[in-house]
Structure 1
Amino acid sequence: MSEHTPIGLENDTRAIRALTHSGNFHVDETLGYVILHYALAPQGDLRTRILEGTCGDRLDFVRTRSPEVIKGADIVFDVGGSYDPPSGRYDHHMKDKPLREDGTPYSAAGLLWKDYGVAAIRNILTSPVEEGVPEAIWKSLDKSLILPIDQDDNGVVKMGKLSLADIVSACSPPWDTAELHGVQEAKGREALGFANAATAVAAHLVNMVDRVRASLKATSRVLASYKAAEDKRILLMETGMPTEKVIFERDLPVVYVVSPAGPEQWNVKAVPPVRGDFGQRVSLPEAWGGLEKAALAEVSGVPDAVFAHPARFICGAASREGALKMARLALEIDASLKIA
């Protein structure tokens, strides 16, 4: 994260002109623009600013390679031949590239994320969060979203088909647009393509911020539920949410997760031996597999039992107490089979 106050964040009223190069565009400068949009002027219209040069807010945005225009801009990224954040310069094409601690070269998006990412996240978040959450989201997205873009843009590791980089590239007009439609029309289609790409990238960033926020919230709740559990093998969640990520990252010995599956059903889901894998650490009882309602209630001894999947990785009951009883019985049956 930034070690200085980036240009435009020292106050929220100063007019800022941001600039990147014209011509072919890629995911790093597209995301770079999106980051600046959310950090500096999220109330503005992202598309109008691109297509009309202004949208009546504090942030102007220009795409050009003109040295004179570049010289006069407040923030210049992915062009200009200089990396000097206090002066608002964020290029990465020099011989001495700015590098991450692990030696990975930064892209323009990575450099702007370092300085403006937390501010962008704070403006993207639509509900109050606990102190430190924006920084935690920044760290998570720096690894999962920004680093792959750094690697792709610098020729380290290609993101591949249907990645964000590929989606952005698909927004560019074909190579023969000027030949078919003339230079002016080609410029207009290029601007429209960049606007379309920025719109897609902005939607992706907003969704990713919200998903990471929710993931951090789930982590807190899972750990609290685990701490409160009498039997650490059974994780009781009062609200349905992702749990597997936390279980494996924290190496929790959870075997079954009990959680609501609607207003009238609670499920027991077996944890797999490896995250995302098939199979179960402890399968549900063989005698339950494929049974429903009365038949399952009779075999299991749980009056409100609803179902047990034939693959024995999930079962359910009509009540919280019934589901908990099924989880406890499954562990007891497994223990008795091991003794036998």
Structure 2
Amino acid sequence: MHSCKKAILLFTSISWLPVSKHMTSSPPAKKACIEMKIGTHNGSFHCDEVLACFLLKQLPTYKDAEIIRTRDQKVLDTCDIVVDVGGIFDPSKNRYDHHQKTFTETMKSLLPTKKWTTKLSSAGLVYCHFGKDIVASILEKLLTDPITETIFDKVYEHFVEEIDAIDNGVNQFDGEPRYQITTTLSNRVRNLNPNWNEENADEMVCFLKAMRVVGEEFMDRVLYYKKAWLPARQLVVDAIEKRKETDPSGEIMVLSSGGCPWRDHLFDIEQEQNISPPIKFVIYADSNGNWRVQCVPVRIGSFENRLSLLSEWQGVRDDALSKLSGIPGCIFVHASGFIGGNKTFEGAMEMARKTMKDRDSKAS
């Protein structure tokens, strides 16, 4: 595996973000920044305190802080802020542990306007209290800007909550899983710990390497929502508004840019506008100038579709598919029925329409 002892890291602290004029709620500095200390536990590290430390070092107060890894309470008492150790959650004292039996906090309990009820880890605690400042700085937006609020929520739901749940042992679903997922960020951080039989490994070097990995993913996620996800919303709004021009059923929408992230926006807008019937198919041009017809899933992350392309088409290609379907220009239908292709827009539309017609005939 890795050898942290031999790892060469060309940094001594992670402080990538500029101080933002928009930051208003960072904890007050007690000393000069260079003397600040962030305390966390030593021994095996986990994704939650690694992310918590990274986030703190994006704040002006802790930008140049030293990270102290120890379980010695006397040493922790000298730290300006402590995460994931110490048995205390008290924001007024800058103590953010979640391991004590009395701890039950969630995003919803601390921020009542939020919906998430997953028990917080040290990552979630730090994000809950300081994350909006950090997001505003990255976005170069005011704390009160609706975009800051939107992306703060999305980053929690699609990044931080997973880390909270894994660290607290919250199952993603009931029952036995069909397969194991071992490539999550939490697992990758765990694998950066020194091996059990690796002598004289430098734990701090490993911890800083983990901070680099976690920090890069956090930054990438926030910037993705800023640069790619948010601009896609208007494309989805336009497509939904024109859906009945596309097809009288209102169940097919055509995207002007097929590569845009449409799922989150589609579900949000359908709920906001109380759209009925829900949209079943999204049509868009692919990078080769052909057309795709993609099924809308029943929920984000699900492999089940609201309406799959016809089962007899699934796994069939090219001329065989065109002959079977009676639609010229067919290219493929995926074996699971969630997506298909045609050489023309009209052909892709007909694939969606025939699927809906088959559904309607079976329902009548």
> Same fold judged by TM-score > 0.5?
yes
Q: Which residue of 1 aligns with 2:291?
A: 267
Shift of 1:29: 0.9
Q: Which residue of 1 aligns with 2:192?
A: 171
Identity %: 23
Distance 1:279 1:149, change over 3 A: closer
Distance 1:161 1:8, change over 3 A: farther
Unaligned runs of 5+ in 1: 43-56
Q: Separation in 2 of the partners of 1:92 and 1:310? A: 45
Q: Is the 8 A contact 2:47 2:185 kept in 1?
A: yes
Alignment of 1:184-333 (within 5 A): 185-186=200-201, 189-213=202-226, 214-229=228-243, 230=245, 231=247, 232-240=250-258, 241-247=260-266, 250=270, 253-262=278-287, 265-271=289-295, 274=298, 275-277=302-304, 280-281=307-308, 283=310, 290-291=317-318, 307=331, 309=333, 313-317=339-343, 322-324=344-346, 326-327=348-349, 331=353
Secondary structure, counterpart of 2:99 in structure 1: coil
Distance 1:103 1:265, change over 3 A: closer
Choose from 149, 160, 173 the match for 2:163.
149
Instruction: Give the AA of the match of 2:291.
Output: N
Instruction: Give the AA of the match of 2:206.
Output: G
Distance 1:269 1:41, change over 3 A: farther
Distance 1:219 1:190, change over 3 A: same
Q: Which residue of 2 aligns with 1:46?
A: none
Q: Separation in 2 of the partners of 1:253 and 1:127? A: 34
Distance 1:32 1:330, change over 3 A: closer
Instruction: Give the AA of the match of 1:21.
Output: H
Distance 1:69 1:103, change over 3 A: same
Instruction: Give the AA of the match of 2:241.
Output: K
Distance 1:237 1:104, change over 3 A: closer
Q: Which residue of 2 aligns with 1:73?
A: 79
Is 1:108 aligned with 2:114? no
Shift of 1:20: 1.5
Is 1:36 aligned with 2:36? no
Instruction: Give the AA of the match of 1:233.
Output: E
Q: Is the 8 A contact 2:51 2:123 kept in 1?
A: yes
Shift of 1:33: 0.8
Q: Separation in 2 of the partners of 1:167 and 1:247? A: 32
Q: Separation in 2 of the partners of 1:206 and 1:103? A: 24
Q: Which residue of 2 aligns with 1:21?
A: 41
Shift of 1:65: 3.4
Instruction: Give the AA of the match of 1:20.
Output: T
Distance 1:284 1:88, change over 3 A: same
Secondary structure, counterpart of 1:62 in structure 2: strand
Q: Is the 8 A contact 1:38 1:123 kept in 2?
A: no
Q: Is the 8 A contact 1:20 1:63 kept in 2?
A: yes
Unaligned runs of 5+ in 2: 1-23, 110-115, 173-179
CA RMSD of aligned residues (A): 4.2
Secondary structure, counterpart of 1:135 in structure 2: helix
Q: Which residue of 1 aligns with 2:99?
A: 93
TM-score (norm 2): 0.65
Shift of 1:260: 2.5
Q: Is the 8 A contact 1:19 1:62 kept in 2?
A: yes
Shift of 1:84: 1.9
Distance 1:155 1:129, change over 3 A: closer
Q: Separation in 2 of the partners of 1:132 and 1:22? A: 39
Q: Separation in 2 of the partners of 1:155 and 1:329? A: 44
Q: Is the 8 A contact 1:6 1:86 kept in 2?
A: no
Q: Is the 8 A contact 2:281 2:352 kept in 1?
A: no
Q: Deviations over 1:159-216 (max 9, x none)?
A: 9633322222211113344xxx4xxx34xx1111111211221122223324444334
Instruction: Give the AA of the match of 1:75.
Output: I
Q: Is the 8 A contact 1:29 1:77 kept in 2?
A: yes
Shift of 1:328: 5.6
Distance 1:88 1:157, change over 3 A: same
Structure 1 window deviating more from structure 2 (308-317 vs 16-25): it is 308-317
Q: Is the 8 A contact 2:49 2:84 kept in 1?
A: yes
Q: Separation in 2 of the partners of 1:130 and 1:326? A: 43
- Whichever of the two has the greater Rg, that structure is 1
Q: Is the 8 A contact 2:151 2:225 kept in 1?
A: yes
Secondary structure, counterpart of 1:198 in structure 2: helix
